[in-house]
């Protein structure tokens, strides 16, 4: 059984036991994803318009991590202008516990 969920403006295909990085959730312990777009139980898929009601995905927040560093460099020729800025996006690492499909 797998599901497609939406969180942080992105869509993820998840199964029970999967570990994935999603946008920062500001939550500890148990998390419930209600925006389920599709559930496939092995026989027939259930597709929402746009979301499925009475379906949810339960997950556990393992830790908060940071992504790779992205460098933004500004430069203007002949003007001796250079600016360097680094950024690391924060993510929540979650483990999928259960997919509830009614």
pLDDT tens for each residue of 51-94: 999 999 999 999 999 999 999 999 999 999 999 999 999 999 99
pLDDT of 3 over the 90 cut: yes
What pLDDT was estimated at residue 42?
87
Nearest to 70 by CA among 48, 52, 56, 90: 90
Structure-token pair, residue 56: 């949810």
60 SS3 class: strand
Q: What is the pLDDT of residue 77?
A: 97
pLDDT at 102: 77
The arithmetic mean of pLDDT across residues 6-21, rounded, is 96
């Amino acid at each position: 059984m797998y599901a497609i969920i939406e969180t942080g403006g992105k869509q993820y295909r998840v199964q029970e036991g999967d570990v994935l990085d999603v946008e920062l959730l500001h939550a500890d312990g148990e998390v419930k994803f209600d925006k389920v777009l599709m559930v496939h139980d092995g026989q027939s898929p259930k597709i929402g318009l746009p979301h499925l009601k009475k379906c949810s995905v339960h997950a556990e927040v393992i830790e908060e991590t940071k992504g790779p560093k992205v460098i933004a460099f500004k430069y203007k020729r002949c003007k001796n202008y250079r600016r360097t800025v680094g950024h690391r996006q924060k993510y929540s690492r979650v483990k999928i516990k259960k997919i509830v499909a009614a």
